[in-house]
Amino acid sequence: MSLPYLTEARAPLTREIEVINEHGEHETIQVPSERALTVYVDNRELVTLMTLGARPEWLVLGFLRNQRLVRGVEEVVSITVDWEVGAAAVKTRGGIERVEERTARRVVTTGCGQGSVFGDLMDEIDTIRLPHSVLTQAQLYGITSAIRLQESTYKSAGSVHGCALFRVKDSGPEMLLFVEDVGRHNAIDTIAGWMWLQEPSAMGGADKVFYTTGRLTSEMIIKSAQMGVPIVVSRSGITQMGHEVAQRLALCTIGRASSRHFICYSAPGRLQMQPELAGANPRATA
C-alpha cells in the first residue's frame, strides 16, 4: 500500500494571556491555540477547519475519510500543511468524484467543533456490521484510569476536547493515540486519519475502544462505527439521536465514565459486568 506524503507542520498548542481573577489580581494563564486551516483538494477550496493544530495532516486525512470524500488512503498522494498561510493542500490520485454534489447538502449537527457532515448522516449505517467484541468492567476501569493519568493540554489550558483510541489486551488496555482539539470532531477525525496510516491488519475494530471527553452524539457514534470500532466510552452523557444510532448499530456506548461510575446506554452484551469492582452499592440492602 502506498501511503501519502505528509508534512509535519507543528505549531504551539497553547498561548499565554493576561487575566484578572475574582480577587482583582492579575494572572498569566494558558489558553489553547485555535487556528484556521483551509483545506484545498486538488486546488479547490473545500472547507475551513478551526483547530488546535497538533496534527493537522492526520486531521485533514481523517476529515476526508469521515466525510466519505475519499474511499481509501491510497487515493491521497500528499497533504501539505503551511501554517504561515493556514492552508492544507491535498493532492489526490483521481480527484474526488462529484465533489460539488457531495458537499452541497449541509447538516449542522449537534457535536462540538466540526459539526457539518456533508451528505446524509444515516447514509451508510445499515451497511455497517461491527465485529464481535467484549470489554470487561476491569478493562473499562483501566481506560478511565489511563485517561486520568494522561498529560494534556486540557490540564494546562482547559477548553479542549480529548479523544483516544485503545487496544484492549488481556494484560489491560493500551492507549494507541491520544488527541486533543478545540473541536472534538477534529480529535476523532485526527484518530481516523492516523488509523489509515497504520497497517490495516492492526486496525481491526474487534479489540479497539474509543474514548471521548465529549458527548455521545450521533455523529460521534457514526464516526466510530465507520472506523469499525464497536465500543465508545465518554466522560459525558448521550443524546437521543446518539442513543438511537448506537442501538441501530449495536454499538456499545458507555457514558459518565469516571473512576468507578459509569452508565451503559446501548449494546450491554458487549460489556462484561463485574459489579464487585464497583465498590459498595448504596442501594444494596444489608
Residues near a copy of itself (CB under 8 A)? 15, 17, 19-25, 27, 29, 31-36, 47-50, 103, 106-116, 137, 157-159, 182-183, 215, 217-218, 236-243, 260-265, 268, 271, 273, 275, 278, 281, 283-284
Min dist CB 140 to a copy of itself, Å, is 9
Q: Residue 163 corresponds to which cell in the numbers above?
A: 479523544
> 74 vs 101, which CB is nearer to a copy of itself?
101
Min dist CB 202 to a copy of itself, Å, is 30
> 203 vs 265, which CB is nearer to a copy of itself?
265
How do 76-82 and 87-92 pair as beta strands?
A: antiparallel
Min dist CB 1 to a copy of itself, Å, is 29
> 49 vs 232, which CB is nearer to a copy of itself?
49
> 56 vs 203, which CB is nearer to a copy of itself?
56
> 12 vs 94, which CB is nearer to a copy of itself?
12
Q: What are the beta bridge partners of residue 165?
A: 177, 210
DSSP string, 214-258: S-B-HHHHHHHHHTT--EEEESS-B-HHHHHHHHHHT-EEEES--
Min dist CB 201 to a copy of itself, Å, is 33
Q: Residue 253 corresponds to which cell in the numbers above?
A: 456506548
Q: Which helix (H) or strand (E) holds 155?
A: helix 153-157
With 0-12 / 13-18 / 19 or more C-beta atoms within 10 angstroms meaning exposed / middle / buried, residue 63 is buried
Min dist CB 129 to a copy of itself, Å, is 24
Q: For residues 46 and 64, give the distance between their C-alpha atoms in angstroms, rounded to a whole number.
A: 10
Nearest residue to 242 via CA among 261, 215, 267, 205: 215
